[in-house]
Amino acid sequence: MSNEEQAGQTEQEEPMAVAAQWVATAKNIVVLTGAGISAESGVPTFRDAQTGFWSQYRPEDMASQTGYRANPAMVWRWYEYRRELVAKVEPNAGHVALAAFEKTHKTGQFTLVTQNVDGLHQRAGSSDVLCLHGDLNTQAWLDTPKDCCHLDYAEAGDPPHCDQCGNLVRPAVVWFGEALPYRVLDRAQKASEACDLMLVVGTAGAVYPAAGLARLASRVGAKVIIVNPSVSELDDAADLIVRSPASVALPWILGTGETRIAA
Ligand code: APR
């Protein structure tokens, strides 16, 4: 390792050590994650996935009720393409550290809130994930289901539909112009109000109400730690910023990885 690299590493270890100290003494902890935590697993963001064939379509047409009604087969295939991308990747050390921490944090509440729809937290072993923007691998009905609509035996097709009324199956993700799932958001807000520490990991902090959770926690006096190699729009709400990738910082900060044990 060069002297420069060594200096950079030491610079980052200091905030990580402070963060680890805060985590070790906190009772109620909320973690809010975004696309950055899955970037190291190779999950492209919504916009990054719009490459090649898909680059000809506008995001609003791929992720809105209007777009789906206009071209259900195209939108359904776009989500199948994204489900296939996600199925090929694995959770990384950041996801794994959070799943391990959930099992060991016994002194208070631990709440994991994510804006990601990729299911990697669940695959890493987190058992209670508040998915603010839904879940790519879950389906729902486009229109209010009638008695004839049963997801279990929706007619196969592109996309699947109710064989009696034609109601379309859709991915259970939050589209442009739609509200976040009320109960999930409510739990996330209550946990943010009641926490004494919030970790904000891998989010640009530009999309609300998700980003508002960090501001809420800060307002009620919780310490806010940001883990992000780059500047984010929530930096002004942070008490501490760790400028490292999530896969490096989280095992360290949460005390679940070898790096911290050896340090
Ligand atoms: N570790 C931590 N953070 C990282 C890493 C990493 N290895 N790599 C990138 N980041 C950071 C980037 O610096 C950026 O700030 O992750 C953030 C990703 O930002 P966005 O792509 O805007 O993702 P996010 O904030 O989750 O977007 C929120 O917007 O696109 C919609 O609904 C979609 O849920 C998404 C929401």
The CATH number linked to 50 is 3.30.1600.10
Considering the domain architecture, whether residues 160 and 204 belong to the same structural domain is answered as no
Q: What is the pLDDT along the chain (263 residues), one digit of tens a residue?
A: 566 665 555 566 799 999 999 999 999 999 999 999 999 999 987 777 777 777 888 888 999 999 999 999 999 999 999 999 999 999 999 999 999 999 999 999 999 999 999 999 999 999 999 999 999 999 999 999 999 999 988 998 899 999 999 999 999 999 999 999 999 999 999 999 999 999 999 999 999 999 999 999 999 999 999 999 999 999 999 999 999 999 999 999 999 875 443 33
For residue 57, the model assigns a pLDDT of 84
Q: Are 244 and 196 in the same domain? A: yes
What pLDDT score does 259 carry? 47
Q: What's the total number of domains in the chain?
A: 2
Is 105 designated active site? no
Amino acid 146 reads K
Pocket flag, ligand 1, residue 45 (CB < 6 Å): yes
Q: Is 207 in the pocket of ligand 1 (CB under 6 A)?
A: yes
- List the residue whose alpha carbon is closest to atom 5 of ligand 1: 36
pLDDT value for 72: 96
Ligand 1: residue whose CA is nearest its atom 15: 204
Verify whether ligand 1 is closer than 6 Å to residue 204 (CB atom). Answer: yes
What atom of ligand 1 comes closest to residue 205's alpha carbon? 25
Q: Residue 45's pLDDT is what?
A: 76
Q: Is the CB of 114 under 6 A from ligand 1?
A: no
95/200 same-domain check: yes
Shared-domain flag, residues 120 and 211: yes
pLDDT at residue 59 in the model: 85
Task: List the domain range (segments joined by +) for residue 75.
Answer: 44-88+139-173
Does residue 113 sit in the same domain as residue 56? Answer: no
CA of 263 to the centre of ligand 1 (A): 29
Answer yes or no: do 48 and 127 share one domain: no
Both tokens of 214, joined, read 């960090």
Residue 11 is predicted with a pLDDT of 63
In this prediction, residue 262 carries a pLDDT of 37
Instruction: Choose, from 95, 121, 133, 161, the residue flagged as catalytic.
Output: 133
User: Are 129 and 188 members of one domain?
Assistant: yes
Are 202 and 263 contained in the same domain?
A: yes
